[in-house]
Amino acid sequence: MAAQTILFDFTLDAGKTATSIQRQEVARIVRNELEHVFTQLELAYSMESMDNGYFSVLHENKETIITCRIFQQGLLTINVEYYLAAGKEPVLSLDTMRTMELILRQKLDSDRSKYLPPIKRGGYIDIYMTSSDERIIEYDIDTLVYEARSPFQKIQILHSKTLGNMLILDELQNIAESDLIYTETLMGRGIENYEGKEICILGGGDGALLYELLKEKPKHVVMLEIDELVMQACNKYLSSICGDVLEKRKTDQYEIIVGDCVDYMKKFIAEGRKFDYVFGDLTDIPISDAPIGECWDFIRTIFEHSFQLLKPDGKYLTHGNGTSCLESLQLFEEQLRLLKPKVKFTTTKAFVPSFMEEWLFYQVTFA
Amino acid sequence: MAAQTILFDFTLDAGKTATSIQRQEVARIVRNELEHVFTQLELAYSMESMDNGYFSVLHENKETIITCRIFQQGLLTINVEYYLAAGKEPVLSLDTMRTMELILRQKLDSDRSKYLPPIKRGGYIDIYMTSSDERIIEYDIDTLVYEARSPFQKIQILHSKTLGNMLILDELQNIAESDLIYTETLMGRGIENYEGKEICILGGGDGALLYELLKEKPKHVVMLEIDELVMQACNKYLSSICGDVLEKRKTDQYEIIVGDCVDYMKKFIAEGRKFDYVFGDLTDIPISDAPIGECWDFIRTIFEHSFQLLKPDGKYLTHGNGTSCLESLQLFEEQLRLLKPKVKFTTTKAFVPSFMEEWLFYQVTFA
């Protein structure tokens, strides 16, 4: 189904790989150990570098290709790569990998070593996603439930064995069935009182926020979502988090308007319409024609319009970013500080299961 | 500080790489694009395989080495590896990687591609850990707070920017400051009533379970932990989850006995001592001289002794494994079924932040 890349590394005493003869000896030990696993192993190529480095290519039937590199800084890396056809057994089992690591570590007199489980490459479903601070996370995704391209974005519903169905927009995790905590933290459940209140949601196409808000008996909620197809997908595959709120576009309790939220905010402002709460529940990277560099301008535009829609004691509630993304959070808060009239804010945080990280949420009011 | 390995892959139309000339053309496109980033690029080696495969080694000053492989199944992999010294700028920024991916994808007429953020290898702190089902997870660990080797295991306290201090035993995640949910689910907070009850904890060296149980006013808790050093480390670095309970070994409310829990369970059984609750809070792989194959025998021994210590309406509470580890959970439940007298069980689950996965917990009573 995919190519497998298996990465081993061993810390070496730099003094023990200073000469070409010493490096050849390390390479011999590695080759010797690899030959126990790959009985047809051949050396295809090797190269020495002037600064005490060594690199070689070994292979078995040109199918499993292994590169072995000694860095002058005292590190050996071994990369094993082969194609694993569907239904075939892996060339290296996890047990064999563990044994290889232990034996090589001992034979190389290495005091630290590491191997990673096989990295699967080229599979149709993408199981590797990144956290907001660019860390690699392998998900237990087993099915592509839905995929479509709307005029605005690529929409996928992927199924994770433990997180349930996940909404992925343009390769970014948005929300999953496991993420009630996301919605509850965004809305400050148990802290805010929504009874009888007028609420506007910007975005929110997954329907989870609308669904949870309606349980708290607000007077009325209006939701401005641009992407009809996202709502159709979520209505069908994420009903455990959005209930049946995406079934209808208008009831006595709420109205879902399909369109650009900025246009409708302008319309509401012109009409003098005011809300107790405005929610910023848009995706991270704004859906607009603007280049990414103008992303912060867009976010500020959203803020400015939102505050024009708020009653004097109203609140703007939104998500920030992963709490490890200090730089991005600082830029976000800078935009808040630029607002006129002045605003003040508090934050809350929650570990969001499908993001695999802690996320920061903002509660903004007039200063 | 570490070697960086960057993995790209591109799905190719297999029909477009069927001949040697076509594969050379793909290699030429790749090389051409790489030369924009690595201006000193040289081709060191290339190899064709009989089954429509191609492999080449390129390098810049023998410092950055790039392997490029075309699989007959319609996949191109590009692996870039170099040593990033502390304080130096990466050879490839994330922006450059993204651009390289987009351009190559277009030039190769590929309909799916992927790159992973750099994999850091050889660092003294291990930031990659695996889930119970062997998925790769990169943690935002920034500091090795404590490291020691006790007679029983390697003990580390690592600091994660978002999870706080984490206890790692023999490279396995045990508990972190973020994981109150683990302890609360293990003890069934809000479901079980511990007031006036007699409780025995097997293991529990991190102190979190003892700390939380004492808040519920039990009559007495005895904790049997083998590793003095774990308790010292947790007392010092995990006090936000264990309070000051590890400061003392004995109070009116609890007693911590440092020793092999099996020995003390036998002693308690001989004395006819009985408990309302026994907690199995041992690490996953039992600390004993027994080979790993006998792990399940050890777990059954723990079960058997625990049930001899329980009052007729007593409960044995323990963690299972990640909910995605069906095989391991089945083996666990098989051991429960082998018990005499017969037992029955219920389960609960929770997503444990520092495990980055959902975990299953068992509540076992006499049938």
B174-186 pLDDT tens trace: 999 999 999 999 9
Q: Show the CA angle centred on residue A357, arms to residues A79 and B229, nearest 5°.
A: 75
Q: Report the C-alpha gap between B106 and B100 in whole angstroms.
A: 10
Same domain, B171 and B182: no
- Report how many domains make up chain B: 3
Q: Report the C-alpha gap between B181 and B361 in whole angstroms.
A: 12
- Per-residue DSSP letters for A89-119? PPSS-HHHHHHHHHHHHHHTT-SEEEE-PPE
Mean predicted confidence (pLDDT) in B58-71: 96
For residue B1, the chain A residue with the least C-alpha distance is: A73
Q: Quote the minimal CA–CA distance from B138 to chain A in Å.
A: 5
Same domain, A362 and A237: yes
B299-309 pLDDT tens trace: 888 999 999 99
B136-170 pLDDT tens trace: 999 999 999 999 999 999 999 999 999 999 999 99
Nearest CB partner across the interface for B3, out of A9, A62, A134: A9
A22-53 pLDDT tens trace: 999 999 999 999 999 999 999 999 999 877 89
Structural domain for B25, as ranges: 2-120
Same domain, B93 and B158: no
A249-265 pLDDT tens trace: 999 999 999 999 999 99
Cβ distance A77 to B3 less than 8 Å, yes or no, reads yes
Helical pair A94-107 and A20-37, crossing angle rounded to 10 deg: 150
B81-107 pLDDT tens trace: 999 998 899 999 999 999 999 999 999
C-alpha A247, offset from chain centre:
28
Q: What percent of chain A has pLDDT above 90?
A: 83
Q: Show the CA angle centred on residue B72, arms to residues B66 and B73, nearest 5°.
A: 105
Q: Report the C-alpha gap between B28 and B50 in whole angstroms.
A: 20
Tell me whether residue A125 is in a domain.
no
Same domain, A281 and A352: yes
Per-residue pLDDT, A287: 46
Nearest CB partner across the interface for B71, out of A11, A83, A324: A83
Tell me whether residue B126 is in a domain.
no
Whether the pLDDT of residue B64 is over 70: the answer is yes
Per-residue pLDDT, B167: 97
C-alpha A80, offset from chain centre:
27
Preceding omega of B218 cis (within 30 degrees of 0) = no
CATH number of domain containing A167: 2.30.140.10
Parallel/antiparallel/unpaired status of strands A310-322 and A357-366 = antiparallel
Whether the pLDDT of residue B284 is over 70: the answer is no
Which range (A122-126, A295-299, B274-278, B279-283) has the least confidence? A295-299
Whether the pLDDT of residue B291 is over 80: the answer is no
Identify residue A364 by its one-letter amino acid code: V
Region class of A325: left (phi > 0), else alpha (psi between -120 and 50), else beta: beta
Tell me whether residue A46 is in a domain.
yes
Q: How confident is the model at residue A284 (pLDDT cuts 50, 70, 90)?
A: low
User: Which chain A residues have a beta carbon less than 8 Å from that of B62?
Assistant: 47, 49-51, 53, 55
Asked whether A363 and A348 are in contact (CB, 8 A), the reply is yes
Identify residue B206 by its one-letter amino acid code: D
B194-229 pLDDT tens trace: 999 999 999 999 999 999 999 999 999 999 999 999
Cβ distance B73 to A83 less than 8 Å, yes or no, reads yes
Q: Report the C-alpha gap between A57 and A67 in whole angstroms.
A: 5
Tell me whether residue A207 is in a domain.
yes
Nearest CB partner across the interface for B119, out of A7, A50, A51: A7
Cβ distance B358 to A358 less than 8 Å, yes or no, reads no
Preceding omega of A341 cis (within 30 degrees of 0) = yes
Q: Report the C-alpha gap between B228 and B323 in whole angstroms.
A: 31
Same domain, B171 and B239: no
Per-residue pLDDT, A57: 98
Q: How confident is the model at residue B15 (pLDDT cuts 50, 70, 90)?
A: confident
Cβ distance A55 to B50 less than 8 Å, yes or no, reads no
For residue A326, the chain B residue with the least C-alpha distance is: B161
Asked whether B224 and B231 are in contact (CB, 8 A), the reply is no
- Residue the block writes with tokens 């399940």: B296
Cβ distance B55 to A69 less than 8 Å, yes or no, reads no
Contacts of B337 (CB under 8 A, 6+ apart): none
Q: Quote the minimal CA–CA distance from A138 to chain B in Å.
A: 5
Nearest CB partner across the interface for B138, out of A69, A135, A163: A135
- Per-residue DSSP letters for A166-203? EEEETTEEEEETT-HHHHHHHHTTTTS--TT-EEEEEE
Tell me whether residue B125 is in a domain.
no
User: Which chain A residues have a beta carbon less than 8 Å from that of B163?
Assistant: 358
Q: Report the C-alpha gap between A174 and A284 in whole angstroms.
A: 9
Q: What percent of chain B has pLDDT above 90?
A: 83
| Number of residues assigned to chain A | 367
Nearest CB partner across the interface for A3, out of B71, B130, B138: B71
Mean predicted confidence (pLDDT) in A156-171: 95
Nearest CB partner across the interface for A122, out of B11, B47, B138: B11
User: Which chain B residues have a beta carbon less than 8 Å from that of A178?
Assistant: 351, 358
Tell me whether residue A99 is in a domain.
yes
The two structure tokens encoding residue A127: 């199981």
Same domain, B86 and B214: no
User: Which chain A residues have a beta carbon less than 8 Å from that of B162?
Assistant: 322-324, 351, 357-358
Mean predicted confidence (pLDDT) in A84-108: 93
CATH number of domain containing A33: 3.30.160.110
Cβ distance A324 to B45 less than 8 Å, yes or no, reads no
User: Which chain B residues have a beta carbon less than 8 Å from that of A134?
Assistant: 94, 117
Same domain, B337 and B352: yes
Q: How confident is the model at residue A292 (pLDDT cuts 50, 70, 90)?
A: low
B324-340 pLDDT tens trace: 888 889 888 988 998 98
Q: Which of B61, B92, B357 to mutate to test the interface with A (most CBs of A within 10 A)?
A: B357
Per-residue pLDDT, A169: 94
User: Which chain B residues have a beta carbon less than 8 Å from that of A73?
Assistant: 83, 85, 122
Cβ distance A358 to B124 less than 8 Å, yes or no, reads no
Cβ distance A45 to B57 less than 8 Å, yes or no, reads yes
Catalytic residues of B: 281
Q: Report the C-alpha gap between B172 and B134 in whole angstroms.
A: 12
Mean predicted confidence (pLDDT) in A271-277: 98
Same domain, B336 and B309: yes
| B250: DSSP letter | B
Q: What percent of chain B has pLDDT above 70?
A: 97
The kind and range of the H/E element at B185 are helix B180-187
Per-residue pLDDT, B293: 59
User: Which chain B residues have a beta carbon less than 8 Å from that of A45?
Assistant: 44-45, 47, 57
Same domain, A42 and A187: no
Q: Quote the minimal CA–CA distance from A161 to chain B in Å.
A: 6
For A75-103, letters b (16+ CB in 10 Å) and e give bbbbbbbbbeeeeeeebbeeeebeebbee
Contacts of A158 (CB under 8 A, 6+ apart): A125, A139, A141, A143, A144, A145, A165, A166, A168
Per-residue pLDDT, B292: 55
Same domain, A204 and A306: yes
Per-residue pLDDT, B287: 46
Same domain, A249 and A310: yes
| A90: DSSP letter | P
Q: Report the Cα–Cα distance between both ends of chain A, in Å, rounded.
A: 57
Q: How confident is the model at residue B288 (pLDDT cuts 50, 70, 90)?
A: very low
Tell me whether residue A266 is in a domain.
yes
Q: Report the C-alpha gap between B68 and A298 in whole angstroms.
A: 40
Identify residue B355 by its one-letter amino acid code: F
Catalytic residues of A: 281
Per-residue pLDDT, A1: 59
Whether the pLDDT of residue A328 is over 60: the answer is yes
Mean predicted confidence (pLDDT) in B105-119: 95
For residue A140, the chain B residue with the least C-alpha distance is: B135
Tell me whether residue B318 is in a domain.
yes
CATH number of domain containing B306: 3.40.50.150
Q: Report the C-alpha gap between A230 and A25 in whole angstroms.
A: 59
A216-250 pLDDT tens trace: 999 999 999 999 999 999 999 999 999 999 999 99
Per-residue pLDDT, A298: 83
Per-residue pLDDT, A288: 46
Same domain, B101 and B142: no
